[in-house]
Structure 1
Amino acid sequence: MISLNQLQNSGNICIFIRHGEKNLDGYDLSSEGKKQSLEFAEKLYLLNKEINVFSSPEQRCIETATIINNRVNGESSNISLSSALGKPGIQVKNEIEYAKLTDTMRCRDIFSEWKRGKCCEAMHRPEIVKERVISFFEKTSFKNDGITLYISQSGTVACTGYALNLTDYKNVDHEWVDYLDGYIFKL
């Protein structure tokens, strides 16, 4: 889980994380994923800052976003959905080619190949992903003091974090994007 300790007096912040733990046999969150999402929401709530929540249209992301948003903003508030965060994701250039990759490879393997300059028919180069994600942050985040939380899948977290030079996840089990992990970007 990403650390929020340094965010108390930090201005306009973008937090980009992976969804909570999912069930092994489906797309919904596991009971542990729901619990961890609520714990993360409590930490955000204690920051006493205005928070907007964006989610990928993927079910597990929506579920994570809803749990967090309900705690920090109340159950009558809404989350915003964006295909930049998933289905397909901001890093995807050609959905058909990308679908061929995801049908045959694990996300972390695609990421490793992408970092080596492969997958160029399916995915944007890192410098293009960087431009696109910064533009997305500028359009969707607070203009003053606040936190904008973006919930996505591991591949989008890994690609955008790498493109921004904030993180470089490895293609091994203990160094891949963990649930509710990601990065913090200050505009």
Structure 2
Amino acid sequence: MLDAAELPAGERVLAFIRHAEKDSVSFGLTAAGREEAVLFGRKLRDLGRPARIISSPEERCCETAELIYAAVNGGAENFRSGGAVISPALGRPGIQVKNETAYRKLTDTMRCRDIFRKWKAGQFRDAMRNPEDIRSLIWKFFLDTALDPGITVYVSQSGTVACSGYALGLKDYMAGDESWVNFLDGYALSL
């Protein structure tokens, strides 16, 4: 889990994380996942800096984002009415997706980590953008959405976290002894 208390210094800080632990049957958050999201939010609140939460439209991401938002702001009353931003760049389909139909066929038959491994090797370019295009798009997205000054937390799915982190040269999941994207894990940077 990315530790909110250890985010980098700077005027504009970004944390790009995977949603909290999900139930493998319902895909909603587990009780442990909800607790960890609240803990992440409390640590973020304790930093005493303005914070913005931007989420994928996927329900498990929105639920994670809402829990973080509530912990930071003392409640979730305004979360769905403008308190947080919901963006398809973070999921459904995600910034890495070039052709949603072709990508859906992949995700219907393969795990995201297996898709990611083959994508890094140059496969699936009909369905997914190349790393250079993702890097360009994600930088533009960050510059357009990051709180200035403050901390912006982006909540997404594992595939989007892995592809964007790789495209930015920040994190290479599945390389060497690196495991797949854990819940509430990801990367952080300062603009």
What's the TM-score bracket when you normalise by the shorter of the two chains? over 0.9
1:50-61 to structure 2, matched below 5 A, reads 50-61=50-61
Q: What's the TM-score, normalizing by structure 2?
A: 0.93
Q: What's the TM-score, normalizing by structure 1?
A: 0.94
Matching of residue 182 in structure 1 with residue 186 in structure 2: yes
Letter in 2 for 1:50: P
Tell me if structure 2 keeps the 8 A contact 1:7–1:47: no
Tell me if structure 1 keeps the 8 A contact 2:112–2:158: yes
Deviation at 1:171, TM superposition (A): 7.3
Query: Aligned residue for 2:153?
Result: 149
Two-structure CA RMSD over aligned residues (Å): 1.7
Distance 2:40 2:159 in 1: 21
* Partner SS for 2:181: coil
Shift in CA distance, 168/52, structure 1 to aligned 2, threshold 3 Å: same
* Partner SS for 1:142: coil
1:87-102 to structure 2, matched below 5 A, reads 87-102=92-107
Deviation at 1:27, TM superposition (A): 1.9
Shift in CA distance, 173/155, structure 1 to aligned 2, threshold 3 Å: farther
Identity across aligned pairs (percent)? 48
Matching of residue 71 in structure 1 with residue 47 in structure 2: no
Deviation at 1:186, TM superposition (A): 1.6
1:105-184 to structure 2, matched below 5 A, reads 105-143=110-148, 145-170=149-174, 175-184=179-188
* Partner SS for 1:165: coil
Query: Aligned residue for 1:13?
Result: 13
Q: Can you list the C-alpha shifts for 1:122-160, whole angstroms capped at 9, x where unaligned?
A: 0000010000000000111123x2001000000000000
Letter in 2 for 1:141: A
Distance 1:97 1:24 in 2: 24
* Partner SS for 1:34: helix
User: More deviation in 73-82 or 112-121?
Assistant: 73-82
User: More deviation in 163-172 or 16-25?
Assistant: 163-172
Deviation at 1:79, TM superposition (A): 1.6
Shift in CA distance, 13/139, structure 1 to aligned 2, threshold 3 Å: same
* Partner SS for 1:175: coil
Tell me if structure 2 keeps the 8 A contact 1:93–1:124: yes
Structure 1 gaps, min length 5: none
Deviation at 1:8, TM superposition (A): 7.0
Distance 1:151 1:61 in 2: 6
Deviation at 1:57, TM superposition (A): 0.6
Tell me if structure 2 keeps the 8 A contact 1:51–1:73: no
Structure 2 gaps, min length 5: none
Q: Can you list the C-alpha shifts for 1:147-181, whole angstroms capped at 9, x where unaligned?
A: 01000000000000000000000179971000000
* Partner SS for 2:26: coil
